[in-house]
Amino acid sequence: MDRKITVLDVREMLRAKQEPFQVIMSTVATLGPADVFELHATFRPDPLIRVLGKQGFHAAVVQETEDHFIVQFYKEDIDIPVFHLDNRGLEPPQPMVRTLAFLDGHEGMKTGELALEIWNERVPAFLLPELEERGFSYEIQDEDHGTVRVRIRRAG
């Protein structure tokens, strides 16, 4: 199944006191069944999470800075929130660097409250020992069209 992450940054709109709801919903309408919608906002958008939750979307929230929240919405039903990184098309070692930077930089990964799913072009041979060393478990799925999904979470 082809999948992509669609990104929408509404921080400028919010700072300009504009209402981004329509833009958000029209973007959501374009999503495919396996797509992830990534929203950048200046606060944690709990009302939107509830609205989209009623449409079957799950949400994973990470806070990058005091006024930068990234929320990813996806339909796959998983027991804990999952953040997604699309590493396809990136030159090595960027996929591995991006992944480890996320794992090391987000408290939710360390506490086990958040999982990370990366989309790579191949099974990341050099990443797996790093994951084991850091105490993470991983699940891998090869998809037919050259996408490998690796879901990473705190082991145990």
Partner 1 sequence: MERGMPAGGPGGPVTSQAPPFTVPMRYMLLGMAGFVLFAFDLVAQSIHLSGGGAFLPQVVALTHLLTLGSLLSFIMGAVYQLVTVAFLVPIASERCARWNFWLYAASAFGLIGSMAIWSLTGLLVFGSLATVSLYVYAILIIVSVSRSRIRGPMLWFVISAHVYLMAAVAAAWLMIASISGLRLGGVFPQLLATHILLALGGFFTFLVMGFSFKLLPMFTLSHGFATWRQKWTWVLAHAAVCLALIGIWAQRPALEWAGGVAGWMAFASLLFDIREIFRKRLRKKTEPPTRMVVVAAVAGMAGVLWMLVQLGSGREQDGWQGVVTFYLLGWVVLTLMGYAYKIVPFLIWTQRYSAKAGRNAGAGDRPGPGMRAHTAGSAPDAVTASPPVKPQKVPVIADLIQLGRSRPVLQSFAIGVMVLSFSGVARFTAGAVAGSIMIALSVLGFIWQLQRVVDPKQVAKELRGHD
Q: Assign 114 to helix, strand or coil.
A: coil
Q: What is the dihedral of CA 81, 87, 92, 97, to 10 degrees?
A: -30
Number of residues near partner 1 (by CB under 8 A): 57
Q: Which of 48, 62, 118, 131 binds partner 1 (CB under 8 A)?
A: 131
Residue 141's closest CA among 115, 122, 125, 116? 122
Residues 6+ apart with CB under 8 A from 93: none
End-to-end CA distance of the chain: 30
Is 88 a binding residue for partner 1 by CB under 8 A? The answer is yes
| Contacts of partner 1 in 21-40 (CB under 8 A) | 23, 27, 30, 38, 40
**Token pair belonging to 147:** 């996408």
**Span interacting with partner 1, options 43-51, 56-64, 97-105, rule CB under 8 A:** 97-105
Is 9 a binding residue for partner 1 by CB under 8 A? The answer is yes
| Contacts of partner 1 in 136-155 (CB under 8 A) | 136-142, 145-147, 149-151, 153, 155
Determine how many CB atoms are found less than 10 A away from the CB of residue 7.
14
Q: Assign 83 to helix, strand or coil.
A: strand
Is 122 a binding residue for partner 1 by CB under 8 A? The answer is yes
Residues in contact with partner 1 by CB under 8 A are 2, 4-9, 23, 27, 30, 38, 40, 76, 78-79, 86-94, 96-97, 100-101, 119, 121-123, 125-126, 128-129, 131-142, 145-147, 149-151, 153, 155-156
